[in-house]
Amino acid sequence: MASPEPSAHGAEKLDDDDVIPQPSSRSPTLPGTSLLLSPTDLLILAASFYPLTLIAGSVFSACSPSPASADSHFSRKRNPFNVFFVKYGWLWTTLVFLIHASRLRSSSKARALLRYAVATIWWVLVTRWFFGPPIMDQLFLATRGKCQPADPDPMHAEEEVGTAQMIFTSAACKVAGGKWSGGHDLSGHVFLLTHASLFLWSELLPTLIHSGTAGRESAGVSWSEIFPILIRSAAARRENAGGLALLVLWWWMLLMTGVYFHTWLEKATGWIAGIAQWAVLYVWALRSHPTVRSIFGVPGI
């Protein structure tokens, strides 16, 4: 039988020189119980829902028999969920994380904030600034995209769009009354919703499991326990309920993006950008490099 992995409750007890046990080829089983999932298994399971969600939404959009299905509340960019939540997605994610971090042990807070800083830097690089235009805009321009002025008159267009520097970002193009045209438009919604969700799952999951199991030590969680644990965790603390509510909203808005917006390739590149920082730090570096783990720590309670 494979050696059991530490529970989420035990994650915070790891010293800097301890090595996080790698997942065994099969999850441990106990007499009379079903297959058990370690915290790592649960995190990967949560992460797998996001590409599956995009695929499901895209397939529904492509196979929808009625054009009316393309005209719904969520197909409008100005719907309240998009305007008040997704538009300020990283702000909402930050608020949930800071509430969570305030409950951590004092010895864990600094490292949790450092992991948050890395996630924030990646969000800035992709959507705000990367030695000039952000990565998503540089990709658009590199694939021959441009800012198309609203006024077809060349003289008026120059006045609308302004200087050459202004057309280098999608935000400046929109402010100038123009519209991105041509090029590869990496889905910013898919990036943000995936990136924010995986960051929150990684940071909140140990606390959610600890609250949902009343702190009991366990070799893992069975499939049948997943939803009851999350429900008990939400009932135990309002902070947990708020975090889970935001994660559900981010998942729903990702599904709506899959249904109504962007091409398959644009959603795929948005998803790749969304998992990149999470995969490097949480899946690879923290598990495989003790030096990195000694600097950034591991999510705990």
172 and 257 belong to one structural domain: no
Q: Which residue in the block uniquely carries the two structure tokens 């695929």?
A: 55
Q: Report the domain count for the chain.
A: 2
Residue 54 falls inside a structural domain = yes
150 and 245 belong to one structural domain: no
Residue 193 falls inside a structural domain = yes
Q: What is the pLDDT of residues 234-283, one digit of tens each?
A: 988 899 999 999 999 999 999 999 998 888 999 999 999 999 999 999 99
Sequential DSSP letters for 241-267: HHHHHHHHHHHHHHHHHHHHSS-HHHH
> Is residue 184 annotated as a catalytic residue, yes or no?
no
Q: How many CA atoms lie within 13 A of 27 on its CB side?
A: 20
197 and 285 belong to one structural domain: yes
Residue 19 falls inside a structural domain = no
151 and 290 belong to one structural domain: no
d(CA 39, CA 27): 11
Q: What is the pLDDT of residues 125-184, one digit of tens each?
A: 999 998 888 999 889 888 888 787 765 555 554 554 444 444 567 767 776 667 777 788
Residue 215 falls inside a structural domain = yes
155 and 249 belong to one structural domain: no
160 and 290 belong to one structural domain: no
205 and 112 belong to one structural domain: yes
Residue among 100, 189, 195, 210 flagged as catalytic: 189
235 and 104 belong to one structural domain: yes
- Burial 89-127, CB ≥16 within 10 A → b, else e: bbebbbebbeebbeebeeebeebbeebbeebbebbebbb
235 and 120 belong to one structural domain: yes
238 and 271 belong to one structural domain: yes
Helix axes 188-212, 264-278, angle to 10 degrees: 40
Confidence of residue 19 (pLDDT cuts 50, 70, 90): very low
Residue among 100, 195, 210, 262 flagged as catalytic: 262
Residue 29 falls inside a structural domain = no
Residue 16 falls inside a structural domain = no
Range of the domain at 211: 35-61+78-143+187-296
> Is residue 189 annotated as a catalytic residue, yes or no?
yes
Q: Is the dihedral of CA 181, 78, 275, 169 positive or negative?
A: positive
164 and 289 belong to one structural domain: no
Average pLDDT over residues 3-18: 42
Q: What is the pLDDT of residues 191-208, one digit of tens each?
A: 999 999 999 999 999 999
284 and 260 belong to one structural domain: yes
Query: Rounded to two decimals, what is the model's pTM?
Result: 0.81
Q: What is the pLDDT of residues 82-124, one digit of tens each?
A: 889 999 999 999 999 999 999 998 889 999 999 999 999 999 9
Q: How many CA atoms lie within 13 A of 24 on its CB side?
A: 16
Structure token digits, residue 179: 């519209």
